[in-house]
Structure 1
Amino acid sequence: MLDRADKGLSIRRQCELLGVARAGVYRLQKPANDNDLAVMRRIDELFAAWPFLGSRRITAMLKAEGETINRKRVQRLMRQMGIAALGPKPNTSKPAPGHKIHPYLLRNMAIDRPNQVWAADITYCAPRPTFGEGRMTGMQKRKEEEEK
């Protein structure tokens, strides 16, 4: 939407009207090089096989394959591809404010006969989609958007 060739409106005024920061306008993004595309393709393959891996583990796997790459580059490429590890994030074990803490009723109880105490587990594990259906990887999303 920004017109750099417009002589009537300066870039500063155009940014002001559009509500865009000038810092992101003056510097044009560099196009991705062929090496980045090859690494992104390999990261996408690794992430499709193991979606719970983060940048540290993917970096280690790429280094084991002989690629000279550092973690910051893997993080940047994963961010560009729109992928992130599936797993618990920090502070997920903190209770909500005002949450009632229930007492442990079996603390001083001696369990000495069958059927005296019962327990249940309500853990739910969602089925993992196979590759090609369900969750799309970053490269698949980008390819689909390009085809539209």
Structure 2
Amino acid sequence: MGSTIGLVSIAPRKRTTVRNKQHKVYPYLLRLLDITIINQVWCSDITYIRMRHGFVYLTAVMDWYSRYVLSWEVSVTMDDGFCVSSLGD
């Protein structure tokens, strides 16, 4: 399945998340929260982008209500400094 501009994911299609039954499952704490305004809840995520000679790591901070990207950082190493710097000043 491709997009209209010809981009196609190279990610695995099946079983990308396999649960280890020995690991604790934490509850989703926002399930019963009615998110109705901007800046009520923020979220963050880290992902990697495969490059020819390794990986580039991307971290982003978003507003959960508006889905607006508040900040983001890219790094060639996955250290805590680039994650913290994405929070800004």
TM bucket by the smaller chain? 0.3 to 0.5
Whose strand proportion is higher, 1 or 2? 2
Q: What's the TM-score, normalizing by structure 2?
A: 0.39
